[in-house]
Amino acid sequence: PHVLTERGIFRYEQVTYPMEERGLQFGDGVYEVVRLYSGAYVWLQEHLDRLYRSAAAIRLSVPFAPEELSERLEQLRRMNDVREDAILYLQVTRGSFPRSHTFPTENRPNLYAYIQPMARKTDEIAHGVHATLTKDVRWEYCYIKSLNLLPNVLAKQEAAERGAFEAILHRDGIVTEGSSSNIFLVKDETVYTHPATERILNGIVRTRVKQFCGELGIPFIEEAFSVHDLARADELFLTSTTSAITPIVQVDDITIGDGRPGAVTKSLQAAYQKATQPAASN
Ligand code: PMP
């Protein structure tokens, strides 16, 4: 496989990182994960827009201009001859310099991007998953897709050890988002989710769900809900680039609705399917 770096495209084995990489030592960088279905990027432009926004928020410059970056990612896709379902991982860091908290005086950011196969999570999407509640202990700037993922890693690990697929994070009882997803509650055919404040990552799929709700005439309310609301929810689902729209049928010992994916979730899944179809036939 090939890897895109700030210096061009190289073979996977040729790309190594120095010890004093600020991404490693400080988590000083940002990243994106983009879906590919049948070898075609899904909503690439939206992901790149968010990458530049995340970078600007931490005063980091992305090595390529937006148009050039998308051209190079297209080149990377062709060179890897991707035809299956996959994901692109892309990160930009402030570079490699002798260790010091303050920014280096020279502007020499590092970038790498590679594509790896990843099948659709068919079972989870069809039947739903279990989730567990965990305290949201993250910093206040969760709208930045930064490399600092330790709280997310610990939350997801805790979920996995409890046999759950995702950790639902709450701050003082208010559900913010998942450890790597956005969370939505359905009550009386209305969809509720945490507003896109600094406390959550505004997901690319989240934005699409908002659009689908508009198109389907489903009320979409950006209003946070609490952990107590879960017991009264008709449906619950999560969204992310890797998991699309996945029903949540159980949260710890609370069964959501009748324990099966609900009608609103299914209609949104159908809209997602339709929206990502053209990409698949490219
Ligand atoms: N929140 C967090 C914390 C995430 O890591 C992710 C996954 N990137 C999301 C939400 C969902 O975002 P997206 O739909 O852009 O994948």
**Per-residue pLDDT tens digits for 92-117:** 999 999 999 999 999 999 999 999 99
Q: How far is the CA of 102 from the centre of ligand 1 (A)?
A: 28
Check residues 206 and 280 and name the one with the higher pLDDT.
Answer: 206
Query: In the chain, where are the structural domains located?
Result: 2-117, 122-281
The closest alpha carbon to 61, from 132, 3, 111, belongs to 111
Confidence of residue 278 (pLDDT cuts 50, 70, 90): low
Is a pLDDT exceeding 80 seen at residue 281?
Answer: no
CATH code for the domain defined by 122-281: 3.20.10.10
The tokens describing 188, both together, are 């009386």
Ligand 1, atom 4, lies closest to the CA of 180
Ligand 1, atom 12, lies closest to the CA of 203
Average pLDDT over residues 178-183: 98
Our answer to whether residue 274 is catalytic in this structure is no
User: Is the overall model pTM greater than 0.95, yes or no?
Assistant: yes
What distance in Å separates the CA atoms of residue 192 and residue 221, rounded to the nearest whole number? Answer: 5
What SS3 state is found at 228? helix
Answer yes or no: is the C-beta of 199 below 6 A from any ligand 1 atom.
Answer: no
Average pLDDT over residues 118-134: 98
Answer yes or no: is the C-beta of 204 below 6 A from any ligand 1 atom.
Answer: yes
In degrees and rounded to multiples of 5, residue 264 shows phi and psi of -65, -45
Residue 42 · residue 50 · CB < 8 Å: no
Confidence of residue 165 (pLDDT cuts 50, 70, 90): very high
CATH fold match for the domains 2-117 and 122-281: no
Answer yes or no: is the C-beta of 180 below 6 A from any ligand 1 atom.
Answer: yes
72-91 per-residue burial string, b: 16 or more CB within 10 A, e: under 16: bbeebbeebebeebbbbebb
Confidence of residue 282 (pLDDT cuts 50, 70, 90): very low
Which pLDDT tens digit goes with each residue over 40-53?
999 999 999 999 99
Q: Which residues pair with 88 in a beta bridge?
A: 34, 115
Choose, from 145, 156, 187, 266, the residue flagged as catalytic: 145
Confidence of residue 9 (pLDDT cuts 50, 70, 90): very high
Average pLDDT over all residues of the chain: 97
Q: How far is the CA of 150 from the centre of ligand 1 (A)?
A: 15
What distance in Å separates the CA atoms of residue 15 and residue 33, rounded to the nearest whole number? Answer: 19
Task: Count other C-beta atoms under 10 Å from residue 172's C-beta.
Answer: 8
The tokens describing 267, both together, are 């209609």
Give the nearest ligand 1 atom to 206 CA.
Answer: 14
Which pLDDT tens digit goes with each residue over 139-163?
999 999 999 999 999 999 999 999 9
Give the nearest ligand 1 atom to 182 CA.
Answer: 10
ipTM of the shown complex: 0.99
Domain 2-117 -> CATH class: alpha beta
Residue in 46, 136, 241, 245 to alter for ligand 1 test, most ligand atoms within 8 A of Cβ: 241
Q: Which residues pair with 32 in a beta bridge?
A: 90
